[in-house]
Amino acid sequence: MSQRVRTAVFPVAGLGTRFLPATKAMPKEMLTVVDRPLIQYAVDEAREAGIEHFVFVTGRNKGVIEDHFDRQFELEATLESRNKTEALEELRKDLPSAGRTSFTRQQEPLGLGHAVWCARDIVGNQPFALLLPDMIFRAKPGVLRQMMDAYEETGGNVIGVEECDWNDVSSYGVVVRGEGEDRSFRINGMVEKPKRDEAPSNLFISGRYILQPEIFSLLAEQTKGAGGEIQLTDAMQTLMGQQRFTGVKYQGKVFDCGSKLGFLTANVVFALDREDIRQGFVQELRKLDLDDAI
């Protein structure tokens, strides 16, 4: 039986340059989709998948993420005195239990691979989930939950993938599909940003992983790859020679909130999904003379 995945790593130390000036003093992961910060969506998804320990790899200017997952007594007292019980319950529900969060620092943003490596001592010798918080999903059950179900059968490493338009493959890391079923199959390789004609598939890696701890020693050995950063993909490619990698084509859709277009689209879609907002929002959209803008 595969070892249970209890720990999730959230790399949040990136500079978020595509979102400047918003991210000059504020972390990208605190940008809100409707009324929840991106990082909260990722934490909720992990919790739904049974994760018990939440590890954040932070950097400079990211202290507010730690505050977000702490109690705010003054605010709670004010809400209580104003009988705003619903808002209060909502705040408390979002918090991981005491002692179940860890924060470590990536002192320099040397890439995603390096950020993951910074969590090695906290994670230790156990499999872990990795969630890129700027990627959020419209999926039920959550994407990590769907991946955990596959992991329980296959063990090893599991990667969430989604189909993209063939014209967009050159923007993503895509996988080489091996034998298996439509929604769960072996991954035999990965290619970063391939040309359309050379892409092995249109299944792209969308920011959710279950990884075995052997990835840490491979990350440690690595020299800087493309763009002067330590790449997670390079280490995964090496690990693939030693361990099984399963691709899970989950049911759902990703929104890349690290890009302005993905972020704006997510706000519209998630607002329309919300019963308390939908009707009013549709009315406001109808009032806009979008024909002029388009």
Structure tokens at 76: 């709670």
Contacts of 17 (CB under 8 A, 6+ apart): 23
| Residue owning tokens 């519209």 | 268
Residue 26 binding ligand UTP, by CB under 6 A: no
Rounded-to-integer distance, Cα 224 and Cα 221, Å? 10
Structure tokens at 14: 């990136």
Tell which one of 5, 7, 9, 28 touches ligand UTP (CB under 6 A). 28
Tell which one of 88, 110, 122, 268 touches ligand UTP (CB under 6 A). 110
Tell which one of 2, 6, 15, 262 touches ligand UTP (CB under 6 A). 15
- Name the CA dihedral angle for 103, 104, 107, 111, rounded to a multiple of 10 degrees: -90
* Residue of 145, 147, 162 whose CA lies nearest to 205: 162
Nearer to ligand UTP, 19 or 255 (CB): 19
Interface size with ligand UTP, residues (CB under 6 A) = 23
Question: Measured in whole angstroms, how far is the alpha carbon of residue 107 from the centre of its chain?
Answer: 21
Question: Measured in whole angstroms, how far is the alpha carbon of residue 203 from the centre of its chain?
Answer: 17
Residue 174 binding ligand UTP, by CB under 6 A: no
Nearer to ligand UTP, 4 or 60 (CB): 60
**Contact range with ligand UTP by CB under 6 A, out of 12-20, 73-81, 148-156, 265-273:** 12-20
Nearer to ligand UTP, 114 or 208 (CB): 114
DSSP structure class, residue 104? E
Residue 18 binding ligand UTP, by CB under 6 A: yes
Nearer to ligand UTP, 109 or 178 (CB): 109
Residue 215 binding ligand UTP, by CB under 6 A: no
Nearer to ligand UTP, 31 or 79 (CB): 31
Collapsing DSSP to helix, strand or coil, 227 comes out as: helix
Residues that bind ligand UTP (CB under 6 A): 11-19, 28-29, 57, 106, 109-112, 114-115, 132-134, 258
